[in-house]
Amino acid sequence: MSASGWLRLPAPLARMGPGPRRPAALLSPGAGVAAVQVAGKKDRPALLPLDEGELEEQFVKGHGPGGQATNKTSNCVVLKHLPSGLVVKCHQTRSVDQNRKLARKILQEKVDIFYNGEDSPAHREKREAEKKKQERKKRAKETLEKKKRLKELWASSTHVHGETPGGSG
């Protein structure tokens, strides 16, 4: 993989699936920053968008004019967040475009955890989920205990009233 060096290239991002389209007809990638918004889930705030100006992106460039004149299959995207130094390498899909979007999404979450640590929404969510799971377990256990005690109570009460099924207890 030929090293093409880091490109400071705030390039336009394509749409993220069905959603609002970007502003039309950019004359150069520099015009207009498209900040990535990861849609917040219902009860947690959206992650802070990444500033394209703080990102460096590296693709494998074809030699010469590119386009038709080359046939490169390496669509790996390497994305670096300069302030934190975090790097994401994405080759999940065969599309450069898709890999760029995914790389940003992954980097966004990593940056969030990096700066917010334990307080990051991702961590908070995880902790909440874990907490809920423990609570459910606890309740389930309690319910089981109750049922057990009820059963015993019933068994002993019927015994007291002399209606023991079968042999003596």
Residues that bind other proteins (CB under 8 A): 1, 7, 9, 11, 14-15, 21-22, 24-30, 59, 61-62, 64-76, 90-98, 100
Q: What's the min distance (Å) between Cβ of 66 and other proteins?
A: 6
Q: Given the complex with other proteins, which of 100 and 104 has the nearer CB atom? A: 100
Rounded to a whole number of angstroms, the minimum distance from the CB of residue 91 to other proteins is 4
- The least distance separating other proteins from the CB of residue 61, rounded to whole angstroms, comes to 5
Residue 129 CB, shortest distance to other proteins, in Å, is 23
**Would you list the DSSP string of the chain?**
------B---PPPPP-SSSPPPPS--SSTTSS-----PPPPTTSPPPPPPPGGGEEEE-PPPSTT-GGG-------EEEEETTTTEEEEE-SSS-HHHHHHHHHHHHHHHHHHHHHGGGSHHHHHHHHHHHHHHHHHHHHHHHHHHHHHHHHHHHHHHHHTT--SSS--
- Which residue's CB is nearer to other proteins, number 73 or number 168? 73
State which residue, 92 or 164, has the beta carbon closest to other proteins: 92
Nearer to other proteins, 103 or 111 (CB): 103
